[in-house]
Amino acid sequence: MGKLRDSVDARALRFAAGFPLMLAAAFVVCAFLIRSDLPEPLAIRWTGAGAADFAPFGAVIGGGAAMIVLIGWAVLVQAVPLSRPAIMRRIMMGAGLFVSLFITTVLAAVLVGQLGLADASQAQVDVAVLAMGSGAALGLGFVMGFVFKADERWSTDDDQAMQEALARELDPDLARDSVSLWVHARSSVFVMLGIATLLPAALLTIAVPWLAALLAGLALLAAASLFARLRVDRSGLRVFAAGFVRVMDVPASAIEAATPKEVRAADYGGWGYRSRGTSAVLLVSSGPAVVVDRLDGRTLTVSAGNATTADNLARVISRVAARARRTGEATEL
């Protein structure tokens, strides 16, 4: 019993169980209030020629109430388990409220469309009730999805965040030794790239669709190559082309020095990633960059945005490299 209690949201469970029941009870009460104005039997299915199938009042009301309860439970209970993501639980709670109210709206439209009739064969579904009720159900479903506060429980992500927070408290310099930086080409380069590729692709869409798609794909690939993400911490330097493809990974203990430098992409073979012999380069534009010298004689050159970020990046890389070498020496001793 304790394990079950820890695996479900008690508040959500109470709502999921109680709301469809209360809604069904309200529907039954309202149906009996207008019972004297309804024909017997009631129409329950329509075709182009009019009402086609009929059922007794008790069967319609009982079946409708059962539908409200069972379908409402089936959807709302999906928001109860704590093991599911919070966003999914919110969606299912809103969907469950909408479905329950929508079914009630349909049943109400069926009954209101038969008020005052002696013969149900002339009945029609009341469109006004159906339209207004459906809109209200949809709106309330959205509201419930946003206001429902899913219970958050401690997870592995929280453990990691706690460890990182404790590490920062115990070592105030840890934040100074960590840098994450995005670099990209100038905006004018992307504008020219779009003019050179996307504009012709748009013109070719009707005549040669496959060629237009190819040009658009090449444009996206070229634009992605003009982005890079740099990550420096006490473990070393990592560089990701397009933000997610790792092209450089240098341990801090393997770094000898880092120096800011003004570079021209043309001197290194152009923009993008290059690896030749003992040198590797990732440039997204000409301008400030950082040159990293490794202890094994290899060099790495990466774009660093502007002069300020290049200076800061070079200082952080040099600092973590020096710290790694000191730590290694102390360990050996």
pLDDT in the model for residue 83: 77
- 149-177 in b/e form (b: 16+ CB < 10 A) is ebeeeeeeeeeeeeeeeeeeeeeeeeeeb
Question: What Å distances lie between residue 328 and 171, 204, 293, CA to CA?
Answer: 18, 60, 19
The sign of the torsion formed by the CA atoms of 165, 170, 175, 177 equals negative
Residue 98 — very low, low, confident or very high, per pLDDT cuts 50/70/90?
very high
Give the pLDDT confidence score for residue 5 in this predicted structure: 62
Q: Taking 70 as the threshold, does the pLDDT of residue 27 lie above it? A: yes
Residue-wise pLDDT tens digits, 122-160 = 778 888 888 888 888 888 888 888 888 776 555 566 677
β-partners of residue 241 are 228, 245
**Residue the block writes with tokens 């959500």:** 12
Region 97-105 average pLDDT: 91
pLDDT at 332 over 50: no
pLDDT computed for residue 333 by the predictor: 32
d(CA 20, CA 4): 22
**Domain ranges (residues) in the chain:** 2-147, 159-184+226-332, 186-224
What tens digit of pLDDT does each residue of 249-285 get? Answer: 999 889 998 999 999 988 888 888 888 888 899 999 8
Percent of the chain residues topping a pLDDT of 90: 16
| Residue at token pair 């809109």 | 135
Residues paired with residue 291 on neighbouring β-strands, in sequence order? 259, 301
Question: Would you give the end-to-end CA distance of the chain in angstroms?
Answer: 56
139 CB-near residues (< 8 Å, 6+ apart): none
- The alpha-helical segments, DSSP class H, found in 148-183 are 156-170
| AA identity, residue 151 | D
Q: Is the model more confident about 154 or about 217? A: 217
Second CATH level (architecture) for the domain 159-184+226-332: Roll (2.30)
Q: Write out pLDDT tens, residues 278-326.
A: 889 999 988 999 999 998 889 999 998 888 999 999 999 998 888 888 8
Higher pLDDT, 161 or 171: 161
